[in-house]
Structure 1
Amino acid sequence: MTTPLIVDTDPGIDDAFALALAAHSPEVDLIGVTTVFGNVSLEHTTRNALGLLAALGRPDVPVAAGAARPLVHPQPHVSRAHGDDGLSGLAHTLPVGTADPRDAVTLLRDLLLAAERPVTIVPIGPLTNIALLLAAHPGLKEKIDRLVVMGGGLAGGNITAAAEFNLWSDPEAARRVLVDEDVPVTLVPMDLTQRCAVTAQWLDLLSASSPTGALLTSFTPAYLATYRRFLGWDGMVLHDAVAVAEAIRPGLLTTARHPVEVDCAHGPGRGALIADRRLEAQGGIDVAVDTDLDGLRAFLLERLGH
């Protein structure tokens, strides 16, 4: 029996890999995609999601545009790691799709109400849409099986010394979802996703494996250039695909349960994830801390190569 799945996303190059993984996995039924500002503007993320799904053979999946800005304070700037259009300047090569007339929160509500089984939602961008959904429709929480969230860093960040990009982009929304709500959450932080990084050789294998693999790797030049420039390393991190992999195969990632906080102050720690790791607690959320790295890479290559 397949698991109904919704991806909330800000494509983004690693988001493109994540969407392909969701679209090509028989264990899940991708019933909807919602878009949010983040790596690039909402206009770009929505266009990218529509084009990617059409190119992946899934134009049937409804795509609804969501929040164009954070809940409270403006996002200081967007990421440039993905190029100006989110896909290394190649978004214009994708088919043009038409967004669902509903906004993201309305589509999320409608899909949850119509679902016969609890739905897994995978937010892989800023958490604004999910915070708005939970605030506006608290009665729908029982329809959510769990949230598999890509975000945060236990040992520091990537956009600042303290904060990972998704949480930093809307700390107030992140705190609402990760701290204040009682929906089951599996948080996939960058500490683990960075360990799951793939090499240029892995990308070459993917490119040669199938048209989908060639399509995905065609979008990677800006991302690869960023990793070469800042880390001196020929490879990249597929942050968001790791979260989708866990949604497809629950338990693929090893988790520990910790209480967490999100720093919403306007200091150098804004957007930081603070996890109490002194002992595993009964409260809190499940935080992914480990996996079979080679096994995960092999799973991604097998699914994305078809």
Structure 2
Amino acid sequence: MFKPIIQSRFFQIRSKCTRLFFLTVLSANVYAQSSGDVLLHINYENGTLNSGITGVNPTNATASDAVYMVQPGAMGNYAVAHKVVYGDQGYYSNENWRSESDADRFKAARFLPGDERRYEFSVLLKDWTPWKAGDPTNETNIFQLKVSGGAGVPLQVRTQRNAMRLRFAVENNVPPADIIPDIRTYVNQWIHFRIDVKWTDTNTGYMKTYMKLPGQGSYALVDEKTNYRTYPGDGLGGQHGYIKWGIYVTPPDMIRVAYHDDIKVIYLGGPTPSSEITNGEIVYAHHHKLHK
């Protein structure tokens, strides 16, 4: 488990025989030092909807069960659940049937052209209603790499009919990629994702999506984009990218529930991000052994 960097007036370091105390100011910057540093790790192990991290927004939906904790998680004791009931205004937010968490306000986890990042998350489709011929074909998003300011969405992990697919920015004019032809086999089981991205606003980037299905011991590459424009905006005027997870859009007259856990943003390269630490805030920036 990754240990958080917790802001305090003193950091205490213990060795066998010596205690050293280092004075640190109440507001400081935390920098990624090398490839593999974890910029954000949301594991919900403290049992709270934002995993105890300032800058993580659990949902904008108002229903009492639009977001809630569940046990067990993918690897630990807790995970978060998002729920959307089509037609109930309590599950309508940001102009659609939606209950999503986001890390938009956690600045160290944002992305801009020039950044290289790894994104990891685990998802469980809870009692997912199967699609039948003649049913509406609305897609349901479960994870997004999003850009602010109305730019195209670089990547959406979503379901349509009985498939799980990747959808890419409209500006790139590339077709969706079906990565699980039939998800019914994997309902109520954890599916694990790893997405490596070099963020560029020219055709020099890459986006590689890996997946580990139940029963698999390692991740498999399921989609790869190279020499590819990954960032659809320009990164100017405060525009930036961030992650979202939960439920976004559901077919008419349907209830959708998804669990998420072990959400990470990992530094792979590019400018070193910083994050101002305020009193009591937890910031993750510890090294993570990278696996291919």
Q: Same fold (TM over 0.5)?
A: no
TM-score (norm. length: structure 2):
0.29
* Structure with greater Cα Rg: 2
Which one has a larger percent strand, Structure 1 or Structure 2?
A: 2
Of structures 1 and 2, the one scoring higher in RCO (CA 8 A, sep 6+) is: 2
